[in-house]
C-alpha cells in the first residue's frame, strides 16, 4: 500500500469511527429512532471535509514555507480555517440532533446566527484571490487564473494569491522557479498573460486572465528582469 492509500484509509476510519466513539465513550443513547441516515450523513460529511483539508494543507504549507516569501498569507489561512470551522459545526450539529439537546453552549454554537457568520466568512474568503484551475492535457498541464473559473477557486475582489519568493513566482497553490520559465508573453486575443515553464513530468502553461492577478504578475516579472532573474529575451509583454 502506498502513502496515499494509507492516508485515505486513515481518513475513512476517522470519519466512520468518530460518531460511534463519541456516543460510546459518553454512553449516550440516540434521542430519535432510525439514526442510520443521520449517521451516514455525519460520516460522509466528515470524509468530504477531511479529504479536502488533507489535500489543501500540504500545498498551502509548501507555499507559505518558501524562502523570501512575498505574498499575502491571509487567503491561505482564512480558507483553511473556514473548513475547520465548518467541520466542527457539522459535528456539533449532529451531536445536538442525535444525542444532546439541552446544552446551552452547543446550542449557541450551532445556532442560525453562527451558521450565517460561518457562511459570511466562507464567501469573504473566496474574495481574496483567484486560485488556478488545473486542466490536464496529454503533453502539458494548463493552469488558468480567471474570475470566470469555478466559484470555489475564488475571485480577485479584495486581493490576489499572486506573489514571489526568493527563487521564483507563486500563483495560488503552485510555484515556479525562474529557471523553469521558458517564455512569458501577452495573448492579445484572450487579453491574458501567458507563461510557459518546464515541469517534472509535463510542461506547464499558465494563463492569467484576471486583471488584478495579471497586473501583479507583470509587476513581479519586471522586477525580476531588473534583478537579472529572468532573461529579457524570454519576455514579450
Per-residue pLDDT of the chain (237 residues; tens, 9 = 90+): 556 677 788 888 888 888 888 777 777 788 888 788 999 999 999 999 999 999 999 999 999 999 999 999 999 999 999 999 999 999 999 999 999 988 999 999 999 999 999 999 999 999 999 999 999 988 899 999 998 898 889 999 999 999 999 999 999 999 999 999 999 999 988 789 999 999 888 899 999 999 999 999 999 999 999 999 999 899 998
Q: In the prediction, which pLDDT does 165 show? A: 97
Q: Is 228 exposed, middle or buried (0-12, 13-18, 19+ CB in 10 A)?
A: exposed
Evaluate the CA torsion angle 102, 14, 46, 149 in order and state its sign.
Answer: positive
Q: In the prediction, which pLDDT does 10 show? A: 84
Answer yes or no: do 26 and 61 share one domain: yes
| Domain boundaries, position 53 | 3-125
Find out whether 108 and 88 touch, Cβ atoms under 8 Å. Answer: no
Domain count, the chain: 2
Answer yes or no: do 201 and 119 share one domain: no
Answer yes or no: do 214 and 150 share one domain: yes
Nearest to 109 by CA among 96, 124, 125: 96
Answer yes or no: do 109 and 165 share one domain: no
CATH code, domain with 158: 2.30.29
Find out whether 186 and 200 touch, Cβ atoms under 8 Å. Answer: no
Q: Is 230 exposed, middle or buried (0-12, 13-18, 19+ CB in 10 A)?
A: buried
Answer yes or no: do 103 and 12 share one domain: yes
Q: In the prediction, which pLDDT does 4 show? A: 61
List, in sequence order, every residue forming a beta bridge with 10; answer none if it has no partner: none
Answer yes or no: do 185 and 113 share one domain: no
Amino acid at each position: 500500500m502506498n502513502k496515499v492509500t494509507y492516508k485515505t484509509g486513515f481518513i475513512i476510519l476517522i470519519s466512520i469511527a468518530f460518531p460511534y466513539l463519541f456516543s460510546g465513550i459518553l454512553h449516550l443513547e440516540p434521542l430519535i429512532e432510525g439514526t442510520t441516515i443521520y449517521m451516514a450523513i455525519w460520516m460522509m460529511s466528515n470524509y468530504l471535509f477531511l479529504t479536502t483539508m488533507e489535500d489543501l494543507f500540504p500545498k498551502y504549507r509548501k507555499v507559505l514555507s518558501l524562502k523570501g516569501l512575498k505574498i499575502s498569507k491571509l487567503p491561505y489561512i482564512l480558507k483553511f480555517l473556514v473548513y475547520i470551522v465548518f467541520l466542527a459545526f457539522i459535528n456539533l450539529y449532529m451531536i445536538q440532533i442525535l444525542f444532546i439537546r439541552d446544552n446551552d453552549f452547543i446550542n449557541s454554537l450551532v445556532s442560525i446566527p453562527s451558521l450565517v457568520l460561518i457562511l459570511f466568512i466562507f464567501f469573504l474568503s473566496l474574495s481574496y484571490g483567484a486560485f488556478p484551475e488545473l486542466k490536464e492535457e496529454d503533453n502539458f498541464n494548463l493552469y488558468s487564473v480567471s474570475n470566470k473559473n469555478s466559484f470555489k477557486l475564488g475571485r480577485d475582489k479584495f486581493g490576489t494569491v499572486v506573489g514571489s519568493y526568493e527563487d521564483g513566482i507563486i500563483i495560488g497553490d503552485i510555484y515556479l522557479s525562474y529557471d523553469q520559465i521558458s517564455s512569458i508573453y501577452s495573448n492579445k486575443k484572450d487579453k491574458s498573460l501567458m507563461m510557459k515553464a518546464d515541469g517534472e513530468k509535463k510542461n506547464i502553461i499558465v494563463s492569467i486572465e484576471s486583471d488584478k492577478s495579471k497586473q501583479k504578475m507583470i509587476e513581479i516579472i519586471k522586477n525580476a528582469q531588473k534583478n537579472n532573474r529572468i532573461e529579457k529575451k524570454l519576455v514579450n509583454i
